[in-house]
Structure 1
Amino acid sequence: MTLTTDPAVLVLEDGTRHRGRAYGARGTTLGEVVFATGMTGYQETLTDPSYAGQIVLQTAPHIGNTGMNDEDPESRRIWVAGYIVRDPSRVVSNWRADESLDDALIRDGIVGISGIDTRAVTRHIRSAGSMRGGIFSGEAAGLDVDEQLRRVREAPEMAGQNLSAQVSVETATVVPARGERIGAVALIDLGIKQASIENLADRGFDVHVLPYDATYEQIRDANVDAVFYSNGPGDPATADEQVALLRRVLDDRVPFFGICFGNQLLGRALGFTTYKLPFGHRGINQPVLDKQTGRVEITAHNHGFAVDAPVTGVVDSPHGYGRVEVSHVGLNDNVVEGLRALDVPAFSVQYHPEAAGGPHDANYLFDRFRDLVVATLKENNA
């Protein structure tokens, strides 16, 4: 691969500018600029629907060495709004690669920039917070400076955006259980990664993947034994329909497991609020304490919002679902990373236990969900 010399510029809403080289597709893209701290796993990051609407900066300096392959994507396309790297690999050096990262970005129309000081941008975001930005490459790099900044500042902020419709499946599908069948689970697709579906199927569930706007009647008609809310992009404060649906699930004591966006929606369903983090958690190296076991896990994250709930003790659900405790806590900043309801069969975590990409420390949570469903089925059949 020959690296381009076409110009590109990254413009942040506070007027900060970084000049570099075009990477991927040429043109203009706007979004929330965030940084991801993983040293590896860029293919899983790029194809994670949770990153829709975000321009992702990789803090690792050298990106693209292993190329892209047809086996590891987490969804049907690359979802990031834009991509920022310091040193793109000149060659692809992996036997599993089917194309270069640059070619994949061009194919999916993702505008990127390379050759800038990503450490400086990261430090700026850590200080000032995530903010709107734009990448202008090729001819767009020559636009008037004031015009570029105007476009960035007119772009929508992430707070207040409802993006589930952009990333969800349009029609329901079913992935059959593998091995001994436990039951069936309704998976509400708010931006699901394929690895979550595979993990559920591997634990004996027929996985009914339903669109983001699925109704309780659709869940009931599918004759499922449990409900799963996926990860996904956007502001959880806008997902009123999904929260109302989840409250009906809790009312009927149907076992529930939510991850990432699903954790935030469980928090809202229980009666807590959510808030936007200064720069969020993104990457595959975030330390989290499981308060139930006392174990510290290294986990994969992508979230810019969090649940506002007491991290110590047991509290009553403001919406009447009994006792609730924060089950997991982020050790970098004491953010709520998991919830467990003690009087209804529901729990959630703020991170990605399917480990795509990332460590497998939290994979046990799928087993915990299976055990919860089995116990509830036995209780109901007793």
Structure 2
Amino acid sequence: MKGYLVLSTGEIFEGEWFGSAADCTGEVVFNTGMTGYQEVLSDPSYAGQIITFTYPLIGNYGINERDYESLKPACKGLIVGDLCEMPSHYESGHSLAEIATNYGIGVLSGIDTRAITQIVRTEGEVYGLLTTDRAKLDSFKPQPIGKVVPGVSVKEAQTYNEDAAGPHIALIDFGYKKSILTNLLNGGCKVTVMPYSVTYNEIVALNPDGIFLSNGPGDPKDLTPQLGELKQIVENYPTMGICLGHQLISLMFGCDTERLPYGHRGSNHPVKNVITGKVYLTSQNHGYVVKPESLAVSPLELTFVNVNDKSVEGVRHKTLPISSVQFHPEAHAGPDDTNHLFADFIRQCQATGEKSYA
């Protein structure tokens, strides 16, 4: 079946359609990873977006039951150069096309994804329509997607590893990846996942040893109404934030955020620890970033910087046990160079808990 992509910049692409035949619209973004399409597909941070894979061959090792990052994909659609319909891997249970059909996602194949990437890099914020109806191409009116976190956050508390001997972590869910939860559980923690709208009183009743602010989709300023409660929470517990969680921590302490020209989405982004000078390769997926000049008027200090564009990649509070990073130390997909940050956070929670109970 023929399918079409029309961009808000006016370009039209024609290719082969797979998956759900329903139209979809969303922000068009690109991911530069050579592998990890299953993790990308199921990452809630892509809610409301149409993902373009720059690597030409996608789907060649299929889809397994182990590498999902959420219960169901939140992205709107996929654009690929060459979709493999006959994957080969001992763990593969389905093809990418089959999974797209099962979850109602449209996939357009046979597209020059490098051309789309160049458009997004040049124009910045680009929206698209995926459709099988050519008659709809001329009438497409782009609509920015806003306030997507409520659609990917849990609706009620969920507790894991109830009898763990380690610290109890409250994971505030803005669209968390399963790998974050896995790292905390592997570190011996009891974890309670809480909705994004959690209040300070609810956290106090939970009596955790630490707070974890997850990744998630969208503009961090969409969550401005939550910042007051979140600030009260993190000021009273050891806290770590990732991606959107990092941006929210920065906002609540007086920093500002801005949209990147075309985002960081891929598995090989170098970041530098400004304290040690060591460089790490990281997995990233974000379209917004903390303004570096705004750190000067806040109680936060820079810990990591992006080697390529010098953007803020990590901060920590000057007096409280609060730290955050823009990149993904849990990886999946991507390198786990910075996985030690989970162990550092867990040790901080243990140390603080021991002082509290002494």
Q: Which position in structure 1 is the counterpart of 2:238?
A: 255
The within-5 A match list for 1:32-47 is 32-47=27-42
What secondary structure, in the 3-state scheme, does the structure 2 residue paired with 1:275 have? strand
1:263-313 CA-to-partner distances (Å, cap 9, x unmatched) read 0000001111111111100011111112232211111111001111339xx
Q: Which letter maps to 1:338? A: G
2-side partners of 1:178 and 1:362: how far apart?
28
The within-5 A match list for 1:171-320 is 171-176=156-161, 181-252=165-236, 254-310=237-293, 315-317=296-298
Runs of 4+ aligned structure 1 residues displaced above 4 Å come to: none
What secondary structure, in the 3-state scheme, does the structure 2 residue paired with 1:143 have? helix
Q: Which letter maps to 2:45? A: S
Contact preservation (8 Å) 1:41, 1:357? yes
1-side partners of 2:171 and 2:185: how far apart?
11
2-side partners of 1:251 and 1:67: how far apart?
44
- Which ranges in structure 2 are unaligned for 5 or more consecutive residues? none
2-side partners of 1:207 and 1:293: how far apart?
31
Q: 1:27 deviation in Å?
A: 2.5
The correspondence for 1:330, drawn from 276, 300, 306, is: 306
> Is 1:369 matched up with 2:329?
no
Q: Which position in structure 1 is the counterpart of 2:148?
A: 163
Q: Which letter maps to 2:82? A: D
Q: Which position in structure 1 is the counterpart of 2:113?
A: 118
Q: 1:316 deviation in Å?
A: 4.9
The within-5 A match list for 1:342-357 is 342-357=318-333
How many residue pairs get aligned? The number is 358
Q: 1:182 deviation in Å?
A: 2.5
What secondary structure, in the 3-state scheme, does the structure 1 residue paired with 2:101 have? helix
TM-score (norm 2): 0.96
Cα 1:92–1:44 change in 2 (3 A) is same
> Is 1:135 matched up with 2:111?
no
Quote the RMSD (CA, aligned, Å).
1.6
Q: Which letter maps to 2:252? A: A
The correspondence for 2:51, drawn from 40, 56, 69, is: 56
Contact preservation (8 Å) 1:231, 1:261? yes
- Which ranges in structure 1 are unaligned for 5 or more consecutive residues? 1-5, 318-322
What secondary structure, in the 3-state scheme, does the structure 1 residue paired with 2:343 have? helix
Q: 1:178 deviation in Å?
A: 8.2
Name the stretch that deviates more: 337-346 or 234-243: 234-243
TM-score (norm 1): 0.90
Q: Which letter maps to 2:331? A: A
The correspondence for 2:10, drawn from 8, 15, 18, is: 15
What secondary structure, in the 3-state scheme, does the structure 2 residue paired with 1:162 have? coil
Q: Which position in structure 2 is the counterpart of 1:104?
A: 99
1:317-360 CA-to-partner distances (Å, cap 9, x unmatched) read 2xxxxx42111111111111111112011000011111111111
